[in-house]
Amino acid sequence: MPIYFIRHGESSANERNRFAGHLESHLTPLGESQARDAGKRALDLGLEVDEVHISTLSRTRRTAELALGEMGQSPVVVESGLIVERHFGVYGGKNKSLVKKAVGFATYTEHFHSNAGAPPGGETWAELYGRAKAYYDEVLTPADRAGRTVLVVTHKYVVEMFALIAAGIDPSEYRDLKVPNARPLSVDDLRRIARADSTTAAVNDLGEIVEIRFPLLAFVAALVGVGLHIALPVTVPTIVFEVGLGALLAVTSFFSLLRIAPSILGDPALRPSRRSVLAVVPLVVLKAGLALILLQLSDSPLALLGALLLLLPPALLAPTLSLAWGGDYFAAICQTVVATLVLPAVVGVVVLLDSGSSFDAARLPEAALAFALVVVGSFVLPLVAAQAFRRRSPIRAGQVSTNWNWLGSVAVIVLALFAGYSLTPSDLTVDASVAGQIGFAVAALLAIRLLAGGYLKVVRPDEGVDRDIRITQATPNVFLWVSLSAALFGAREAGFGTAAVVTFFGLVWLDDVVRVRRQRRELADDVAALGRDPRRDLEGAALR
């Protein structure tokens, strides 16, 4: 009789980009939808389950309950600690991206995807493979021979060990198999996954490298774009620039928004997120007040640009950065969503009030179009598409969100290259006016960060809220800023846009460097607490 395997539905740790391992982590709304969908798929396969085997962690039990409820079946439940997830040692509960960045690709691969490695203080491959092999040989195989249909609901690395066992592959040949959440897999399915060609492994490795190096790659791409325009100066038409900008931002937004459900705002478990959102309100009010003061003090174009920057929502990249830097992803999402939907109206009022004083009012329709392309095209439409995908195919949506999220980062890297090229002046002559615009763009983006930092020093929120506000309020939507400036003043290639984009990505990269160094120190302390040598266990992390 058949044996089928299911990796549990998406957990809160999966959703928040954290290592869970032996730690408890409840199913998300998407995870529960995935579990029900798994039950429907099992019914389509004609499964009549005699036994369901689960680990001692609640996410497997809940997945089994929902799947079996959808199937209308009540088989015998067997719970075992032998099929609990791998123990991740000092990495348990930590942000995956920060850990990868802190220890480097080679060390991360050695710890997680090599049969010879293990996370510091965690379980070795031999230990994990040994208990999975014992369970397969001593529990599952006898049940199969006795004619019982068995459904095993367990965890990623345990399912992947079962795949190696089913395919007869030695553990020394293991590589990350990227088993999706909540998809019923037969023994034959596991064999096929384990024997996939090397191209799949290469793509997975590419995704890991992009995730680790993304901020640096984006900054370098912006600089390369500037250099390419200097070498091959071709003016990019405004409509091409706006459409290209919106399309690339839309890809990034789609992957970010694929992780959220409309119900999150009412989830009691997300109170920390709402606390972060409420904590930022005084800062937003302060920025609005400063914007009005700027407009009262001067009617120059730079004053209007400064006021617009103060009123802009967080960059659509902010949730991605939060996910990569260990922030509260939902705080970043909530702040970005609310600000992107509300602040455009405020910006519109400011522009109308200033109409004719610092720009040609005839340019307002063009500015409105630029605004709509960036906000609607790169945010609203991806939001609708992401939610439709989640509802239609929750298992596939979870797989795309987890395994292909790095494509959103690739889109940002391409965007940085495209913007750097499109915004660079064809004439390299830097007169006083151009130098002033470049200096203003750099100074304004630095001032926004200093303002957020000063506010946090005064209010002194807890560490989590502090981190969330620094991520969202120090990364304004610079592309919306550049698009509005080009539409209002007709100066897309005057040096301002180039400086704004390069400075934005440069500051994001510097933020990444600081956060990664902090994570390295924390990991070194955790390893030292085990009585072990951080330099040996975290080799390749460049610890000092």
382, 308: one domain:
yes
Residue 317 lies in a domain: yes
Residue 241 lies in a domain: yes
182, 60: one domain:
yes
135, 76: one domain:
yes
Binding residues: 7-14, 59, 96
Please check the confidence at residue 442 and state whether its pLDDT lies above 70: yes
Average pLDDT over residues 237-250: 86
What's the CA gap between 311 and 289, in Å, rounded? Answer: 10
Confidence of residue 426 (pLDDT cuts 50, 70, 90): confident
Output the six-digit token pair for 461.
């929120």
Domain hosting residue 248, numbered range: 210-528
354, 387: one domain:
yes
Average pLDDT over residues 263-278: 57
The DSSP secondary-structure symbol of 476 reads B
What's the CA gap between 148 and 140, in Å, rounded? Answer: 9
Average pLDDT over residues 509-522: 93
44, 180: one domain:
yes
Q: What is the percent of the chain where pLDDT is above 90?
A: 41
275, 325: one domain:
yes
Please check the confidence at residue 353 and state whether its pLDDT lies above 90: no
At 100 the pLDDT is 92
In tens, the pLDDT along 275-298 reads: 666 788 888 889 888 888 887 777
Residue 101 lies in a domain: no
Active site residue 85: yes
Please check the confidence at residue 544 and state whether its pLDDT lies above 70: no
Average pLDDT over residues 69-76: 94
At 62 the pLDDT is 97
Residue 327 lies in a domain: yes
At 508 the pLDDT is 94
Please check the confidence at residue 300 and state whether its pLDDT lies above 90: no
Output the six-digit token pair for 490.
């007709």
Domain end among 196, 226, 260: 196
Average pLDDT over residues 269-279: 62
Four-residue CA torsion sign, 276, 279, 282, 287? negative
Confidence of residue 431 (pLDDT cuts 50, 70, 90): low
Mean pLDDT, rounded, of the chain? 84
Residue 535 lies in a domain: no
Please check the confidence at residue 421 and state whether its pLDDT lies above 90: yes
Please check the confidence at residue 494 and state whether its pLDDT lies above 80: no
Closest by CA to 412, choosing from 508, 325, 492, is: 508
Which candidate in 15, 32, 51, 85 is catalytic?
85
Q: What is the dihedral of CA 432, 434, 436, 442, to 10 degrees?
A: -150
349, 436: one domain:
yes
Binding residues for substrate: 7-14, 59, 96
Q: Higher confidence at residue 363 or residue 522?
A: 522
162, 221: one domain:
no
218, 332: one domain:
yes
Can you point out the beta strands (E) in 38-97? Answer: 51-54, 76-79
Output the six-digit token pair for 424.
């660079």
What's the CA gap between 343 and 474, in Å, rounded? Answer: 16
Residue 405 lies in a domain: yes
Average pLDDT over residues 95-100: 91
CB 75 within 8 A of CB 49: yes
Containing 420, the helix (H) or strand (E) segment is helix 406-423
At 304 the pLDDT is 81
In tens, the pLDDT along 450-463 reads: 999 999 899 888 77
155, 254: one domain:
no
At 317 the pLDDT is 85
Output the six-digit token pair for 317.
């990249």
CB 187 within 8 A of CB 408: no
Please check the confidence at residue 140 and state whether its pLDDT lies above 70: yes
CB 19 within 8 A of CB 13: yes
Domain end among 149, 171, 196: 196
At 505 the pLDDT is 96
Task: Read off the pTM.
Answer: 0.87
Least trusted range by pLDDT, from 111-125, 152-166, 308-322, 523-537 = 523-537
Q: Higher confidence at residue 71 or residue 349?
A: 71
Q: Higher confidence at residue 363 or residue 12?
A: 12
Confidence of residue 74 (pLDDT cuts 50, 70, 90): very high
Chain position carrying tokens 């539409």: 487
Domain end among 173, 196, 219: 196
Average pLDDT over residues 217-224: 96
Max intra-chain CA distance, the chain: 86
Which candidate in 8, 22, 53, 229 is catalytic?
8
At 348 the pLDDT is 67
Q: Higher confidence at residue 346 or residue 70?
A: 70
At 1 the pLDDT is 60
Confidence of residue 367 (pLDDT cuts 50, 70, 90): low
In tens, the pLDDT along 376-412 reads: 788 888 988 998 998 888 888 888 888 888 999 999 9
At 118 the pLDDT is 87
CB 160 within 8 A of CB 174: yes
191, 214: one domain:
no
Residue 263 lies in a domain: yes
Active site residue 8: yes
50, 148: one domain:
yes
Q: Domain with 61 in it: what CATH number?
A: 3.40.50.1240
Containing 406, the helix (H) or strand (E) segment is helix 406-423
For the chain, how many structural domains are there in total? 2
At 274 the pLDDT is 62
Least trusted range by pLDDT, from 63-72, 248-257, 283-292, 296-305 = 296-305
Residue 98 lies in a domain: no
Confidence of residue 201 (pLDDT cuts 50, 70, 90): confident
- The 3-state DSSP class for residue 80 equals coil
* 366-369 contacts, C-beta under 8 A, 24 or more apart: 366/487, 367/484, 367/487, 367/488, 369/242, 369/487
The DSSP secondary-structure symbol of 333 reads H
Q: Domain with 287 in it: what CATH number?
A: 1.20.1530.20
Confidence of residue 251 (pLDDT cuts 50, 70, 90): very high
CB 4 within 8 A of CB 42: yes
- The 3-state DSSP class for residue 99 equals helix
529: exposed, middle or buried (Cβ count in 10 Å: 0-12, 13-18, 19+) = exposed
Closest by CA to 184, choosing from 393, 441, 9, is: 9
